[in-house]
Structure 1
Amino acid sequence: MNRTEALKLVEPHLTEHRYVHTVGVTDTAVELAEKYGADRQKTEIAAIFHDYAKFRPKDEMRQVIIDQGFPEDLLEYSPELWHAPVGAYLVRCEIGIEDEEILNAIKYHTSGHPEMTLMEKCVFIADYIEPGRSFPGVDEVREMVQQDLNQAIALSLRNTVQFLMKKNQPVYPATFLTYNSIVKSLNA
């Protein structure tokens, strides 16, 4: 499947704003894949489909999480996290993508996980820094990613945790585990 075909498949599932975001994430992820040596084509496909389930009804996503045996503690946290694992599942079922690397990059693009692959890292950070994003700290992460991918991910995670804490919102445990894993690798 090429870029044009993939974008045609994902576009009906997104708002116009989210489609523009998706193109930005895709372009950014491909640039990072080329810079850091991840598989360009797989990274591109994962980035195109990363928000495939973003606008599915919460009840549908909740049911997929339960039916597919995803960690049920996910339901105790923001529904903003749900679209990632649900999206990976739906991309497999509805689009027919079977490649586990692509599906995992979709599945973990919101929380990360401690053993992220290079491709997963590219999609994860591209979602954070794509050109349409504008919030405190994003420019610093954009600059950092040009020097060190892992440092940029650590900074993005720190920003995210601090943001959630300021809003008195719980932080999904995988986000902490991802942060700890990245920081440990930087200090090794």
Structure 2
Amino acid sequence: MERQVALNLVKSQLTEHRYLHTLGVMETAISLAEKYGADPKKAEIAAIFHDYAKFRPKDEMQEIITTQGMPKDLLLFNSELWHAPVGAYLVEKEAGVTDSEVLDAIRYHTSGRTCMTLLEKVIYLADYIEPGRHFPGVDEVREIAKEHLDKALVKAVQNTILFLMKKNQTIYPDTFYTYNDLIQKLED
């Protein structure tokens, strides 16, 4: 799919602020893909569509999670998680993207998972460090990302877990598993 076609599809689904975020994620993902050896075109498409379902009604997302065989435990956690797996489903159904690597990068960009692929890591990190993001710790992760993808990812996941803990929010188990998996691989 051509970039402009994908951007046009996404723009109709997002607020202006979220669309600008998407453009930042796209540029960051392409840069990370080129630096670390992922497919830049797949990174571009996954980044463009990563927030495709972000503003879908919660009841629509619940219905999709329930009827499409997604993990039901998603419904027990913050609805901010839902747009990623629902987005992967909708991007395939509505935009016709069928590349499983791209769809998985969309699916896991909020929770992460064990044994993340290079493309999944790129999209997760690009979403976290794109230039429009401004929050404590993001600049440190940007600096680490210049030298080491996995170390930057560990710091991003760690920051996310700490942020959620400080807000007394539940943390989806896959996020803990992601952290543990990355730490174990760095130690090997």
- Taking the aligned partners of 1:167 and 1:119, their CA distance within structure 2 comes to 30
Question: What is the letter of the counterpart of residue 44 of structure 2?
Answer: E
Q: Could you say which residue in structure 2 is the equivalent of 1:59?
A: 59
- The sequence identity of aligned pairs, in percent, is 62
Q: Could you say which residue in structure 1 is the equivalent of 2:162?
A: 162
Q: Could you say which residue in structure 2 is the equivalent of 1:138?
A: 138
1:126-165 deviations in Å (ceiling 9; x for gaps): 0000000000000000000011000000000110100111
1:33-68 deviations in Å (ceiling 9; x for gaps): 000000010110000000000000000000000001
- Taking the aligned partners of 1:167 and 1:91, their CA distance within structure 2 comes to 31
Question: What is the letter of the counterpart of residue 48 of structure 1?
Answer: I
Give the Å deviation of 1:69. Answer: 1.1
1:70-97 deviations in Å (ceiling 9; x for gaps): 1111001000000000000000000111
Could you say what the CA RMSD is over the residues aligned between the two structures, in angstroms?
Answer: 0.5
Task: Report how many aligned residue pairs link the two structures.
Answer: 188
Q: Could you say which residue in structure 2 is the equivalent of 1:11?
A: 11
Q: Which runs of 4+ in 1 moved over 6 A?
A: none
- Taking the aligned partners of 1:166 and 1:9, their CA distance within structure 2 comes to 36
Structure 1: give runs of 5+ residues left out of the alignment.
none
1:7-53 deviations in Å (ceiling 9; x for gaps): 01110000000000000000000000000000010110000000000
- Taking the aligned partners of 1:42 and 1:157, their CA distance within structure 2 comes to 23
Give the Å deviation of 1:5. Answer: 1.1
Q: TM-score scaled to structure 1, two decimals?
A: 0.99
Q: Could you say which residue in structure 2 is the equivalent of 1:98?
A: 98
Secondary structure of 1:25's counterpart equals helix
Give the Å deviation of 1:2. Answer: 1.3
